[in-house]
Structure 1
Amino acid sequence: MPRKNEFLSRSDVEELNELASGIADYYFPNGQVDPILIAEKNNISYSFGNYSDSFDGLLECEHNNLELLH
């Protein structure tokens, strides 16, 4: 059974989903989303690592710099 998200309200989740869909449609109107391409187009650094089952991808912000861990 899915757990209620205690961090985000339902309207927050809906708003984030709409924003993510808009970004995906803008960058990839005919195909699969490529997070590395999005990172490169927006000057976001990225790195690859073996994170096991911890996460599929993580966007970190440190000292006003974004980094995508994938």
Structure 2
Amino acid sequence: AAGIAQNLGALRALATVGIQAGHMKLHARNMAVTAGANDDEVDKVVEIARASGRITATAIEAALEQVRHR
């Protein structure tokens, strides 16, 4: 019984982290579009912002500027 409880707890943690990560990626993409990124820029902007460890409007805008000035 204890093993099953541990397995269920581990599955729950994996599912929650995976869902949260996916949600944050979608949120970052939406923020990039709102900041004015075009289709070709969105993925690059999200990658830069996520690498900075901050998904904020300021981080997204800075990432967009970085992409546009390369």
Fold shared per TM-score above 0.5 = no
Larger radius of gyration: 2
Q: TM-score, normalised by structure 2?
A: 0.33
Q: Larger relative CO (CA 8 A, sep 6+): 1 or 2? A: 2
Q: Structure 1 or 2: larger strand share?
A: 1
